[in-house]
């Protein structure tokens, strides 16, 4: 799963590829948790342009009665997202890119939980996401997102059996394209050889608790 990640910058190559300037209100953060705002690259509706926007982490489907449903939908299993009622509309039409410096996982040994930080030393890390728009009866609008996960690779498996989908640069534009024929082809574990896994101190500003969930 992916329950905490860091994002201190928007990779220049990502912004240039899809001609989307970084948001002027971007703030670097080293400890992004579910329910917090996430800076993501989306295909704006109805213009079709790629733009950076702030989305609440925890997807709220458009049909939901209560936005609190998003609290348990911050991850979406890649194997079933195309069919699950909560995610299938977003999987078809509203796929997004979520830049990250790296993400955290914990090794559990009894009561001891040791944080590890995972990043890509040679290329920007960009996570595959889904996003949705939800409207309340008073006319308020909430945009939210989920991060897709797959089976862990060999590097992550000692820490957790799931990991976020990390998209290589060659897949960024296609993942954002709602007309892409087979977006599921990009949903695979990132190669272990390209990853760095290091024991880490808990990220700053953390009242540290292990985030629940099994996605």
Name the residue ranges covered by the structural domains of the chain: 5-103+124-151+164-191
CATH class of this structure's domain 5-103+124-151+164-191:
alpha beta
At residue 209, the pLDDT reads 44
Mean pLDDT of 147-156: 97
Among 127, 163, 141, 148, residue whose Cα is nearest residue 41: 127
At residue 204, the pLDDT reads 55
First-to-last alpha carbon distance for the chain, in angstroms, is 5
At residue 45, the pLDDT reads 80
For 89-128, letters b (16+ CB in 10 Å) and e give ebbeebbbbbbbbbbbbbeeeeeeeebbbbbbeeebbbbb
* Known catalytic residue at 79: no
**Is the pLDDT confidence value at 113 over 90?**
no
At residue 206, the pLDDT reads 45
Catalytic residue among 39, 96, 105, 145: 105
Q: Which of 9-13, 14-18, 111-115, 208-212 has the lowest mean pLDDT?
A: 208-212
What CA–CA distances, in Å, run from 206 to 2, 30, 95, 117, 201?
16, 10, 29, 15, 11
Q: What kind and span of H or E run contains 53?
A: strand 50-57
At residue 164, the pLDDT reads 98
Global pTM value: 0.91
**Is the pLDDT confidence value at 63 over 50?**
yes
* Known catalytic residue at 96: no
User: Residue 182, Cβ neighbours under 10 Å: how many?
Assistant: 7
Q: Peptide bond before 46: cis, by omega within 30 degrees of 0? A: yes
**Is the pLDDT confidence value at 213 over 50?**
no
């Amino acid at each position: 799963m992916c329950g905490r990640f860091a994002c201190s910058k928007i990779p220049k190559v990502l912004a240039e590829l899809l001609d989307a300037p970084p948001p002027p209100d971007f703030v670097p953060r080293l400890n992004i948790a579910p329910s917090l705002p996430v800076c993501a690259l989306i295909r704006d509706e109805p213009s079709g342009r790629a733009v950076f926007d702030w989305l609440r982490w925890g997807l709220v489907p458009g049909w939901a009665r209560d936005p609190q449903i998003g609290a348990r939908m911050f991850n979406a299993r890649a194997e079933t997202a195309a069919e699950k009622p909560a995610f299938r509309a977003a999987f078809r039409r509203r796929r997004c890119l979520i830049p990250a410096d790296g993400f955290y996982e914990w090794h559990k040994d009894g009561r001891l939980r040791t944080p590890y930080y995972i990043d890509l030393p040679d290329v920007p890390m960009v996570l595959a996401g889904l996003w949705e728009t939800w409207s309340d009866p008073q006319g308020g609008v909430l945009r939210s997102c989920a991060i897709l996960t797959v089976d862990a690779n060999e590097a992550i498996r000692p820490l957790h059996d799931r990991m976020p989908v990390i998209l290589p640069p060659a897949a960024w534009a296609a993942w954002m394209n709602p007309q892409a024929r087979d977006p599921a082809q990009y949903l695979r574990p990132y190669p272990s050889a390209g990853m760095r896994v290091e024991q880490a101190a808990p990220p700053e500003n953390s009242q540290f608790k292990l985030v629940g969930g099994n996605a």
